[in-house]
Structure 1
């Protein structure tokens, strides 16, 4: 555990990027309490800036946790770290700055050249983030990486497949210039759930490494596939323009898959705590 915490702290650039996101999120929350409303006319929404900044901060910290398990060369690793830092900080700044000014940072109706330029910069930055994580995904799926830390890399592979779904949802939002589709479809749910896969499945793999459970790879495969089924169900429901809270055969499948995911994680966590309790008891004896 100490070695893993030390490795995490060694990712200073990614850790700092995550902290920038959290600090910006706290700043936006303070601005909301100061103003007394989340809406900044004509288009700004402070709550969107809060959720965006916290989400991107968490994603950067997740990346920092995963980096020690990915077999980057020194040059490629530094290139990736710098790319994440630069693109994330630009996104955080634009999201915060524009919403406080009352301008939608992505799809502004403003005819001001300044806002149009910043909107284009935001779009370009989003594409660079996708390219940066495609580079990360390529590294994770290299055969040599699997031998570096097989269970964790397997979990990260499933997590990155889920993340690619999220990026696809982001492109979908950009194409529509809106998060809404059909009567009740909201693409932002698919966008968010995809990103959480890179936290949920690697955490499952990491917990398994702390347990004495057999067939660990099988459990990672099952968890990863179940989470991809959740993404697929949400994607289909959204594509037909329905809310994910509207009951249907597709969403029933997604609900069941998500419940099974959390049952499996709870099962593994229970075994980890049980093993730890047993080890502590032996030390006392």
Structure 2
């Protein structure tokens, strides 16, 4: 039998889920605009940037809503964490969207007024608040002591928040540079984006394996191998970017990163196959009992 877990994904986080949906709605509206008008809004605006940013923040906030119930915060601390994420996300949506559609760079405008410069500075402060919140999460998850509820999922979350920490370092790097580019071809946004996607890519295998019918040691090994491969891959991408080189070239470091990502993908596909196998067996058992 598959037992109902005591703690569930998204439990008690309807406001974070609602906040994430705002990002998706904005992204959908901007996508329609892009279809008819194109991305460039003179002198500095780019609707395509607003689209990708809102969608990314929406995914990020939704992922935080999924894992926050497992952090074991005291209710007061959890409420504070929740509302800090909501407020910073709403400000980020507003500035990124409004400024781009006014034809201005939301972060480092050279064409705007003093008000626009202040809005950009506050955007940087807003980003630093998100970095701080994302730093508190790994501290909290690594403070959890065994036994924990849903240990396989918690293991995946621990690796995921480490990846998010690296992504936030890339974000701070961009703030200090006031740009996303390093050297001749390095692009920090790649490292930033891939690091954040661990909130999906490293948590899903743990969710799959909770329901798999294999021994616990193998389950943990699959999560460790896949997650470590992911973490090493973004470190390699970070080194390549720091050298001022693109990650989209067939040289030693990008090839090594691709190999590591294939290791992660292999463990994830295997975890998914075990999950499907268990679900089919469970469905068959229910059909037999109903006869």
Mapped to 2, the partners of 1:209 and 1:193 lie a distance apart of 25
C-alpha deviation, 1:146, in angstroms: 6.2
C-alpha deviation, 1:179, in angstroms: 0.9
Mapped to 1, the partners of 2:60 and 2:30 lie a distance apart of 18
- The residue number in structure 2 matching 1:47 is 48
SS of the residue 1:72 aligns to: coil
Mapped to 2, the partners of 1:255 and 1:14 lie a distance apart of 33
SS of the residue 2:195 aligns to: helix
Structure 1 pair 243/146, CA: closer, same or farther in 2 (3 Å)?
Answer: farther
Structure 1 pair 2/88, CA: closer, same or farther in 2 (3 Å)?
Answer: farther
SS of the residue 1:141 aligns to: helix
Mapped to 2, the partners of 1:177 and 1:194 lie a distance apart of 20
Mapped to 1, the partners of 2:115 and 2:147 lie a distance apart of 47
C-alpha deviation, 1:144, in angstroms: 2.9
Match 2:277 to one of 268, 274, 280: 274
- The residue number in structure 1 matching 2:33 is 31
Mapping for residues 117-128 of structure 1, pairs under 5 Å: 117-128=118-129
Tell whether the 8 Å contact from 1:71 to 1:145 is kept in structure 2 after alignment: no
Mapped to 2, the partners of 1:146 and 1:235 lie a distance apart of 35
Tell whether the 8 Å contact from 2:8 to 2:69 is kept in structure 1 after alignment: no
- The residue number in structure 1 matching 2:257 is 254
Mapped to 1, the partners of 2:117 and 2:125 lie a distance apart of 12
SS of the residue 2:197 aligns to: helix
Structure 1 gap segments, 5+ residues each = none
Aligned residues: 284
Give the stretch that moved more between structures: 82-91 or 137-146. Answer: 137-146
C-alpha deviation, 1:252, in angstroms: 1.4
- The residue number in structure 2 matching 1:216 is 219
RMSD over equivalenced CA pairs, Å: 1.8
C-alpha deviation, 1:32, in angstroms: 2.5
Tell whether the 8 Å contact from 2:107 to 2:120 is kept in structure 1 after alignment: yes
Mapped to 1, the partners of 2:141 and 2:14 lie a distance apart of 21
Kindly indicate which of the two structures has a greater share of residues assigned to helix: 1
Mapped to 2, the partners of 1:128 and 1:210 lie a distance apart of 36
